[in-house]
Structure 1
Amino acid sequence: MEPDLFHQEPPKQYKKAIVVGASSGMGKELVKILVKRGYNVGITGRREHLLKELKAAYPGRIFYKAFDIRDLSQTTKSIRELIRSLDGLDLLVLSSGIGFLNEELDTEPEFQTIYTNVTAFTDIMTFTFRHFQKHPPGHLVGLT
């Protein structure tokens, strides 16, 4: 029988994570799992009230920055601040994305999807990859 790698205890050196897109869905549930596994977690999302609720559920274990990943002027700045708050980074999970039912084939929703799911994704992953090159080891996970 194959070992269940997801439910094993993480190595002690991997205890600092950031989850981008943590205010709901898979990102939010992943934060809960990570905290239970001993991680301190930086969380991001657009809906600050939901981030505050998650932080309140795990006092002292969660740090948050509210921003829209499409605002590239805030993205790397905010992730850098979370890395400082966590005193390092071992894991970044990007669990943020959008999609629209666009029966009219309007271009604006498509551009918003590209900007979120491609441009912002690339910006965050590139920044974090470079961080891990300077401060190894580290793990990048993209949920799209």
Structure 2
Amino acid sequence: MLDYSEPVARLIDEFKRLPGIGSKSAQRLAFFILRRPKPEVDHFIESLREVKEKIVFCSICNNVTDVDPCLYCANPRRDRTVICIVEEPYNLVAVEKTRSFKGLYHILHGALSPMRGIGPDELMLANLF
């Protein structure tokens, strides 16, 4: 990024590290941030900091949570005889929105992909068994 000052170039590079964000999107995000009022940017920064400090993986299902076990695993009304295995926490949210599943979950945080070198050891399987 020779065309931008070093702080802007670094910000663009950091945005490009996010999944699905290429150069153009990273530039748009960087300039969006630059145009926002400082209090709004500070709030955004604090949200990032807070999620890294307070969010953990549930020790039972690997869901992202601020309490362990998560609210699904701790709920005694959930059917403990049924487990829905999903790739990511947002898949759990999608299933919950249907209001039809009453069991427990297990989040893998990824999918098997031998072509990309992702095998069982790279997924969160240990606490499933």
TM-score over 0.5 for the alignment?
no
Q: Compute the TM-score of the two structures, normalised by the length of structure 2.
A: 0.24
Q: Compute the TM-score of the two structures, normalised by the length of structure 1.
A: 0.22
The structure with more radius of gyration = 2
Higher RCO (CA-CA < 8 Å; seq separation 6+): 1
